[in-house]
Amino acid sequence: MALADLVGILGVTHNPLMWSVLQHSVPDDLARVAANFEHLRSVVSDLAPDAIVLVASDHFHMLMMSNMPAFMIGKAPMMRATFPNEVRHFGLSPNQVIGDPALAAHLLGGRGLAPGMDFAFSDEPWLDHSFLVPLLLLTPELEVPVVPIITNCNAPPIPTAARFAELGLHLRAAIDSAASDRRVLLVGSGHLAHELGGPRQFLGTSPDPDFDRKAVSWMADGNLEEAVAATTFDRLTEAGNESYQFLNFITCLAAAGGRAATFAEGTPTRFGALPFFSWEVP
């Protein structure tokens, strides 16, 4: 039986204001960001994935505190992307993203929900900018089917870092055991130190450069243990009240077996340091 193959792991920003600026021009402070995306687009193109498993966090667009799952897997053949308020705020255009229901069902656990993970699922996921922006920048034609893994990083209590690591281990094992001859790319999207709606938003620089430096080194050095131990809710809040989405990169690091990233950078911009990570999967 042919098994699926995890061919690569990437971690990227989804900052919608960054995306919005890049639609018009590439200002000096975003030149490196544009170059990093160009590099990762070529990585994706070379890897030629048949499917992308994308770990990111809905920002109260599809999900609200009326019903807030910790981890949800979307398993529809076609998914709507972006919302009217994101069109208004960021200039995104309504889009459609192809899904991969068979792979999604396998990641959920097949005929029984995966032990220990307790995923929620959606047969009608609707993706916000945290999914659409990375896809538009990595696969501009949106031609590769996507399994969205929607993590709660915005409505506390959020899952602990250890749970995000377990999610990574689960995804790795599940992808490796999928009974289909598919090339699967894992992508995580989140932030380094980042703040929105608090005193340190839009400072023109990072709210916590020390966190950024450590966070990038955990990925560059392959230090999963320290990353998990350090990223408590309170430490992440100290880094900025949107920094919880860094946890999606812990999922990537765990899926990479805790190995060092081959590319790890917090690119300084007017929006703070924007994350770029890439792991080779032997």
> How far is the C-alpha of 222 from the C-alpha of 108, rounded, in Å?
27
CB of 2 to another protein, least distance (A): 43
80-109: which residues touch another protein (CB under 8 A)?
Answer: 83-85, 88-89
- Please select the residue that binds another protein; options are 60, 80, 105, 160, rule is CB under 8 A: 60
Any contact of residue 64 with another protein (CB under 8 A)?
yes
Least Å from the CB of residue 65 to another protein: 5
Q: In this chain, which stretch among 56-64, 93-101, 141-149, 219-227 interacts with another protein, using CB under 8 A?
A: 56-64
Binders of another protein among residues 152 to 181 (CB under 8 A) are 154-157
Give the shortest CB-16-to-another protein separation in angstroms. 11
Nearer to another protein, 24 or 88 (CB): 88
Our CB check for another protein shows the closer of 60 and 263 to be 60
Instruction: Determine if 24 is a binding residue for another protein (CB under 8 A).
Output: no
260 CB-side CA count, 13 A: 5
Q: Which of 196, 220, 230, 260: binder of another protein (CB under 8 A)?
A: 196
232 interacts with another protein by CB under 8 A: no
C-beta neighbour count of 145 within 10 angstroms? 21
Q: Does 116 bind another protein (CB under 8 A)?
A: no
Q: Residues 6 or more apart from 234 whose CB is under 8 A from it?
A: none
Give the interface size with another protein as a residue count (CB under 8 A): 25
Using CB under 8 A, list all residues that contact another protein. Answer: 59-61, 64-66, 83-85, 88-89, 154-157, 195-199, 201-202, 237, 241-242
